[in-house]
Structure 1
């Protein structure tokens, strides 16, 4: 399996696990959803729905693959998607914490871009 396919597969497995874990715990009128777009290398785990008072919508995780690196655009998980990726064998040099500005990224142990 080439690097791009490995990254796609790994991301989808991680997000699917989160989805399965949290779907059963979500409120009745809130759906946990996944969107995988291999053509554009975009991967989302998000929720939509209603409470009795307001609309619920938001991304829990948004990941994209760009220039053979994994860009974590948004991550509201407790442990961090980057740690999950490291456990699956992705190197720090191939993970970009894109939710940080470029100057802050320089202070992390991950890739800047």
Structure 2
């Protein structure tokens, strides 16, 4: 399996696991959605629905694979998707914390770009 295909599989597996954990027990008025686009290498976990009289909508995680690296565009998980990726064998040099500005990324153990 080539690197990109391997990263696609890892990202989908991790997001699916997070989604299953978050929906136990499920909130009936709020739907969590996983959107996987292998053609464009875009992976999103988001919620839509209603919490009493308030609209719920938002992205919890958005990941894209580009330039042979995993770019974490949005991550509102407690543990951090980057940590889950590292624990699955992905090198920190192949993970970009894109939600940080480039000058901040230099101060992390992860890739700048």
TM bucket by the smaller chain? over 0.9
**Offset, 1:94:** 0.3
- Superposed counterparts of 1:22-41, under 5 Å: 22-41=22-41
TM-score scaled by length of structure 1: 0.97
Structure 1 match to 2:19 = 19
Structure 1 position 76 matched with structure 2 position 55? no
What does residue 88 of structure 2 align with? Answer: 88
Q: TM-score, normalised by structure 2?
A: 0.97
2 CA distance for matches of 1:75 and 1:25?
22
How many residues are treated as equivalent by the alignment? 113
Task: Quote the offset at 1:112 in angstroms.
Answer: 0.2
Q: Which runs of 5+ in 2 are unaligned?
A: none
**Any residues of structure 2 matched to 1:37-76 within 5 Å, and which?**
37-76=37-76
> RMSD across aligned C-alpha pairs, in angstroms?
0.8
Mapped partners of 2:69, 2:10: distance in 1 = 13
Can you give the 5+ residue segments of structure 1 that lack an aligned partner in the other structure? none
Partners in 2 of 1:77 and 1:51 — Cα distance?
20
Name the residue aligned to 1:7: 7
Runs of 4+ in 1 over 4 A off after TM superposition: none
Q: Report if the CA contact (8 A) 1:26-1:32 is conserved.
A: no
Deviates more, 1:19-28 or 1:30-39: 19-28
**Residue by residue, what CA displacement relative to the aligned partner does 1:64-89 show, whole Å, maximum 9, x if unpaired?**
00100000000011110000000111
